[in-house]
Homo-oligomer: A and B are copies of this chain.
Amino acid sequence: MPTAARVKRQATPISRTTLTAAAFEQLISYVVKGDWKAGDRIPPERELCQQLGIARTSLREALKAMELIGLLESRVGDGTFVCPRSEFLSRPLLWALTGTDHIELGNIMEARALIERDLAGLAAERGTEDEIEAIGQQVRAMREAIDHGGSIVDADMNFHLAVARAAKNDVLHNAVQLLRNLLRHWINLKLMLPGVSEQVLSEHDAIYKAVRRRDPDAARSAMWSHLQITAELVNRVVEQAKQPVHRQSPSNA
């Protein structure tokens, strides 16, 4: 280009989108807006593509993308279902996101501890009464689960999410969820160790009480120590899993 190119593309470059991309956004919005809820079975492909007015091929490209991301699950002869968010973050997505297949457990635990420590402090500072009460609710839920049966796992997860919600930061709330999902397998094992549930409950309670009395520092350190202990236990569980002779590897669901 001899004469100083000009480039200056002022004009709008006319946007066009592909059918597949449009379908993808549409389908995602179904999930996001709650038309399709976790566990739901969505209409069969042959029906859906008619509703959307596109060919099955185009629809499938969108559908497949959602499945590979981990939003949907297809079973031949059965149908296609919406995955619960709790089982989110598929390995393909992890790849896409991190550019690597394997992330050190320790890194995840550390990230979680750092983030949730901050969140605990924020929750104590800015949580509303209702939001803080929701935290307490999860403490009681765990008590209930321990005493009369129920899902300790859910109570655990929900407790941490309640804290994140009280901290009023959607981004970190989501981060908590993602990190927690990455650790799901090991945390579940951890919670089954003898005495651990009582231990966790008391730690949660300490965090809750600190938040309730609006003591950010106490909340931070309570959360920190809780997650340090958790990390310790998780490491122990992981080591245990390595030892046995014929134990199958955890594999991500």
Contacts and interface: CB of A to CB of B under 8 A. Distances in A.
A100 interface: yes
Interface in A65-107: 65-66, 68-71, 85, 92-93, 95-101, 103-104, 107
A21 B68 contact: yes
Interface in A173-224: 174-175, 178-179
B171 A92 contact: no
Number of copies: 2
A32 interface: yes
A149 to B, nearest CB: 16
Nearest to A110: B169
A62 interface: yes
B68 A175 contact: no
Nearest to A101: B32
A64 B66 CA distance: 10
A60 B115 CA distance: 39
Nearest to A113: B118
A146 interface: no
A28 B96 CA distance: 7
Given A60-B61, A64-B62, A28 B104 contact: no
A234 to B, nearest CB: 15
A39 to B, nearest CB: 16
A111 interface: yes
Interface of A: 12, 20-21, 24-25, 28-29, 31-32, 57, 60-62, 64-66, 68-71, 85, 92-93, 95-101, 103-104, 107-108, 110-111, 114-115, 118, 169-172, 174-175, 178-179, 248
